[in-house]
């Protein structure tokens, strides 16, 4: 019995020694093993980002010193250099750059240097656009939206090209709001742009494009009723512009640009009626579009982007699904006609 217990104790001690050896080996291997590749890459990236941020702050501070010394051109150059150090600006970096540039813009405005102020504000708007695009690509929606809204506010300081920059800012804002699924806000932004354009020129072709952007938002929501109303409103603007420019050749602006837009809008309206389960309205719109294309096409070129054959094929499918054999036959005949 005593011998058996001795053997048992010996076995236990052997097992404990083996267990201690295995655990020690595992601990040594853990301590001495190389850093995982992912961790090493992340550490290097963190150091690189930190060095880049330090460089940004250093150049920005140099620009501020140049500003204090009255070297405004040099300061602006340094601010641009700082901006180019990082792929996209953090919020505090963006705010610091904007504030620094606004200081110089205020100096220009107070000193009656309107041309320099105008140029600087345009540069600030372009800076906001660049960073908004970078933020949007990175998925930073709130930052992108703020940049576009900043750009829109900065257009108030412009006397030249204000409309062009305002349109670009609003379109960026609308796209961003859509990606954030803030559809009512996107609609409101489009409406504000339409109101702005109509206040200066109710027949501005840019109004048509603004209605089209609004329509895209309704289409994304599959809100067919509001989409149809928006498209009808934009068609009315198109028709009024074309009537006022009836003496302008079809291949010259604004007629050419507006006819291409109305072609797209009528086609979209036809599709909206079809999606909304309104085949009769869709077919009536197809008739209108077919005649419109015929009116503004030439013997050398069909009005783009949707030609009469495209319309006829679409209308034929609508008539067939709706069980309108006479209409389907009529549209089928138009498909085979030379255009």
* N-term to C-term CA, the chain: 111
Distance CA 208, CA 315 (A): 25
Domain ranges of the chain: 56-177
* pLDDT band (50, 70, 90) for residue 43: low
pLDDT for 23: 45
The pLDDT value given to residue 45: 60
Q: Please tell me the predicted confidence (pLDDT) of residue 337.
A: 87
Confidence label for 221 from pLDDT (cuts 50, 70 and 90):
very high
> What band does 191 get if pLDDT is binned at 50, 70 and 90?
very high
Q: pLDDT-based confidence at 27, cuts 50/70/90?
A: very low
Backbone angles phi, psi at 181, to 5 degrees: 60, 25
User: Above 70 in pLDDT, residue 13?
Assistant: no
Give pLDDT tens digits for 277-312: 999 999 999 999 999 999 999 888 899 999 999 999
- Checking if the pLDDT of 211 tops 80, the result is yes
- pLDDT surpasses 70 at 8: no
The residue ranking higher by pLDDT, 183 or 43, is 183
């Amino acid at each position: 019995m005593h011998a058996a217990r001795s053997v048992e104790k010996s076995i236990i001690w052997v097992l404990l020694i083996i267990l201690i050896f295995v655990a020690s080996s595992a601990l040594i291997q853990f301590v001495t093993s190389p850093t995982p590749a992912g961790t090493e890459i992340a550490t290097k990236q963190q150091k690189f980002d930190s060095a880049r941020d330090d460089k940004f702050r250093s150049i920005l501070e140099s620009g501020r010193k140049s500003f204090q010394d009255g070297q405004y051109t040099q300061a602006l150059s340094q601010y641009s250099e700082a901006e180019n150090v990082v792929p996209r600006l953090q919020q505090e970096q963006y705010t610091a750059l904007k504030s620094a540039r606004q200081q110089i813009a205020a100096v220009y405005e107070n000193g009656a240097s309107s041309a320099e102020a105008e140029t600087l504000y345009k540069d600030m708007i372009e800076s906001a656009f660049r960073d908004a695009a970078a933020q949007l690509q990175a998925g930073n929606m709130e930052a992108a939206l703020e940049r576009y809204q900043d750009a829109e506010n900065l257009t108030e300081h412009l006397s030249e090209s204000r409309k062009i920059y305002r349109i670009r800012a609003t379109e960026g804002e609308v796209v961003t709001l859509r990606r954030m699924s803030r559809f009512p806000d996107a609609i409101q932004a489009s409406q504000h742009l339409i109101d702005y354009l109509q206040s200066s020129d109710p027949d501005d072709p840019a109004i048509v494009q603004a209605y089209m952007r609004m329509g895209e938002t309704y289409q994304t929501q599959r809100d067919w009723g509001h989409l149809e109303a928006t498209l009808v409103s934009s068609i009315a603007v198109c028709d009024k512009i074309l009537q006022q420019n009836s003496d302008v050749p079809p291949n010259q602006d604004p007629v050419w640009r507006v006819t291409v837009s109305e072609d797209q809008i009528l086609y979209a309206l036809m599709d909206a009626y079809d999606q909304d389960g309104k085949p009769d309205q869709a077919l009536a719109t197809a008739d209108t579009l077919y005649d419109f294309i015929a009116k503004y096409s030439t013997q050398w070129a069909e009005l783009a982007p949707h030609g009469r054959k495209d319309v006829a094929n679409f209308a034929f499918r609508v008539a067939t699904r709706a069980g309108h054999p006479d209409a389907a036959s009529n549209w089928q005949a138009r498909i085979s006609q030379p255009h």
